[in-house]
């Protein structure tokens, strides 16, 4: 880390270290600059992952993404950052092109341009730069070529997405006027392709994001009329809202322009039209957008009235709770939270209900209120154990009170053996835990693997007995070679995990081999797999 002072704080140290390891072992492949400051690559981890980063001139990350399951800044993104740092810093600083051109005569420059123009792509770009009046025609032709060649499957979508991002990078380098001509031509074709193609790789969606980002940059000041018309057409097309979140990004761009131009009626008309047909999450977004419009207009009374009428929506209630907490109005904050809990429970929005309970728990801890009932509720919410809330609930009892309360708890959870076992594991009540596992009707190898590591050595023989009981049932139910192979490997691993019980495992394996044919579906296959692992 000390050798890379510019590594963004986005990456926790352990993620950064793993990213560096990936880079140093050559796992970053096919780095490409798809737009100004935007880089894409493939990183080999447990699978091949598509990764992208957008950097500023100081190599600081502005945005990025990866299609791996990790939902935060991941090691694959860190690996790409290290690779880009090495690549960009080792390129050196070339002699300024302006100096080289200044020393060249007109004939040499003309000859050089003619040589470069032998490449069709370069020729089209030079023509667009030298004859701006033909630029739209050239862009139209390039777009037609990209989309005419596109098919419909996964690989077609990948190829088209890469082509579009490369093309957008070239357009961006041609300047704002070029962007104003190119995007209105591209957007209708791009959303139509996204609707029809298999973009499970997400590359075409990235291309749409790149186009929206470029549109955002080109409209920050003095937005060209062509781009405003393009925005308005996109916002009338529901596909931008149905396929991802690009529609909402486009709305924020247009809202900024409406506000800059003081076009309140047009802004209100659009938001109201969206509200009229919105449902679900969509209605929450547009209700919030309408409130923000009131605020932008400076209509304090209208904003307050709208806010109060929409407190049934969690997004508004969260703001109200935050305001009450900020003012240390604890009673109002608790009222808002309890009211929100009642609404969420009535509508069976259990995720929202849980969020309100968590906030209320934090508030009650802060104010010193009695948390026992709420802590218990959160500890076992929806049949899952929350250890921090369980510990907080337990702490509300004295040492003398807890044993009898613990017995009542186990009695209440008798029909939930998994939850009961988790609590016993935490409390290190190994005799009781073993008893629960032995009586667990649906006990599986996976369940045993979850709980068995917590047992100390004196219990190993009994734990292995539990395993062998489950193995006996699993072997009797198995009916193909693949299942026999997996069970043989797992049984072999059991002996290695508990070496002091190796004899019991070997005796069990021998009994299975000697079993009557009628108890096994495919005895020869099982015997072969047993022999393969050494039984």
Residue 308 burial (C-beta neighbours within 10 Å; 0-12, 13-18, 19+): exposed
The reported pLDDT for the residue numbered 150 is: 59
Closest listed residue to residue 75, CA positions, set 3, 13, 31: 13
Q: Please give the Cα distance from 482 to 490 (Å, whole number).
A: 12
Query: Which pTM was predicted?
Result: 0.66
The reported pLDDT for the residue numbered 6 is: 41
The reported pLDDT for the residue numbered 330 is: 96
SS3 content of the chain, % helix, strand, coil (to 5): 70, 5, 25
The reported pLDDT for the residue numbered 46 is: 65
The reported pLDDT for the residue numbered 5 is: 33
Distances (CA, A) of 181 to 35, 176, 190: 17, 9, 15
User: In the chain, what are the domain boundaries?
Assistant: 13-90, 118-261, 443-535
Q: Please give the Cα distance from 155 to 198 (Å, whole number).
A: 8
pLDDT tens figures, 331-344: 999 999 999 999 99
Which residues of the chain have a pLDDT value below 50?
Answer: 1-7, 92-94
pLDDT tens figures, 94-140: 455 556 666 677 777 777 777 776 776 666 666 656 666 566 788 88
Stated length of the chain: 535
Whether the CB-CB separation of 179 and 216 falls below 8 Å is answered with no
pLDDT tens figures, 154-195: 888 888 888 898 888 888 888 888 899 999 999 999 999 999
Q: Please give the Cα distance from 462 to 468 (Å, whole number).
A: 10
What secondary structure does DSSP assign to 382-442, as a single string?
A: GG---HHHHHHHHTTS-TTTHHHHHHHHHHHTTT-HHHHHHHHHHHT-HHHHHHHHHH-TT
Q: What is the DSSP letter of 254?
A: H
- What are the residues whose beta carbons fall under 8 Å from the beta carbon of 135, sequence distance 6 or more? 128, 174, 178, 181
Task: Strand 48-55: give its sheet, edge to edge.
Answer: 28-35, 38-44, 48-55, 61-66
Closest listed residue to residue 486, CA positions, set 497, 475, 502: 475
Q: Please give the Cα distance from 520 to 472 (Å, whole number).
A: 11
């Amino acid at each position: 880390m000390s050798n890379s002072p510019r590594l963004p704080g986005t990456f926790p140290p352990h993620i950064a270290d793993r990213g560096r390891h990936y880079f140093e072992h050559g796992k970053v492949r096919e780095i490409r600059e798809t737009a100004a400051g935007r880089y894409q690559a493939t990183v080999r981890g447990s699978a091949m992952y598509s990764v992208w980063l957008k950097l500023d001139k100081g190599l600081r990350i502005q945005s990025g993404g990866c299609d791996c399951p990790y939902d935060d800044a991941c090691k694959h993104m860190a690996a790409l950052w290290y690779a880009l740092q090495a690549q960009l810093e080792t390129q050196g600083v070339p002699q300024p092109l302006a100096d080289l051109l200044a020393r060249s005569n007109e004939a040499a420059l003309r000859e050089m341009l003619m040589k470069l123009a032998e490449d069709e792509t370069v020729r089209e770009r030079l023509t667009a730069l030298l004859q701006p009046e033909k630029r739209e025609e050239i862009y139209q032709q390039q777009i037609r070529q990209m989309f005419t060649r596109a098919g419909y499957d996964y690989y077609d979508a990948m190829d088209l997405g890469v082509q579009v991002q490369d093309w957008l990078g070239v357009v961006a380098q041609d300047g704002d006027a070029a962007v104003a001509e190119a995007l209105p031509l591209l957007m209708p074709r791009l959303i139509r392709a996204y609707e029809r193609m298999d973009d499970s790789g997400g590359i075409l969606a990235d291309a749409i994001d790149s186009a929206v980002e470029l549109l955002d940059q080109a409209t920050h000041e003095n937005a060209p009329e062509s781009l405003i018309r393009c925005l308005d057409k996109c916002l009338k097309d529901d596909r931008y809202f149905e396929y991802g979140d690009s529609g909402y990004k486009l709305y924020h761009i247009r809202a900024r322009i409406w506000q800059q131009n003081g076009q309140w009626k047009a802004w209100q008309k659009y938001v109201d039209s969206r509200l009229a047909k919105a449902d679900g999450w969509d209605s929450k977004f547009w209700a919030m957008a309408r409130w923000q419009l009131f605020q932008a207009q400076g209509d304090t009374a209208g904003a307050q009235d709208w806010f109060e009428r929409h407190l049934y929506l969690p997004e508004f209630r969260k703001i109200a709770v935050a305001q009450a907490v900020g003012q240390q109005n604890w009673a109002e904050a608790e009222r808002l939270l309890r009211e929100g809990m009642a609404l969420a429970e009535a509508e069976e929005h259990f995720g929202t209900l849980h969020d309100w309970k968590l906030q209320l728990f934090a508030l009650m801890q802060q104010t010193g209120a009695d948390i026992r009932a709420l802590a218990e509720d959160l500890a076992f919410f929806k049949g899952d154990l929350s250890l921090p809330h369980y510990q907080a609930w337990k702490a509300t009892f004295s040492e003398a009170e807890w044993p009898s309360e613990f017995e009542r708890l186990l009695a209440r959870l008798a029909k939930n053996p998994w939850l009961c076992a988790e609590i016993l594991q935490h409390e290190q009540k190994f005799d009781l835990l073993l008893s629960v596992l032995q009586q667990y009707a649906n006990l599986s190898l996976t369940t045993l693997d979850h709980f068995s590591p917590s047992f100390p050595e004196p219990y190993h023989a009994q734990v292995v007995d539990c395993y062998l009981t489950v193995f006996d049932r699993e072997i009797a139910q198995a009916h193909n070679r693949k299942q026999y192979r997996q069970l043989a490997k797992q049984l072999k691993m059991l002996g290695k995990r508990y070496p002091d019980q190796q004899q019991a495992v070997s005796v069990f394996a021998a009994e299975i081999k000697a079993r009557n044919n009628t108890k096994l579906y495919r005895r020869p296959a099982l015997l072969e797999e047993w022999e393969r692992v050494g039984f």
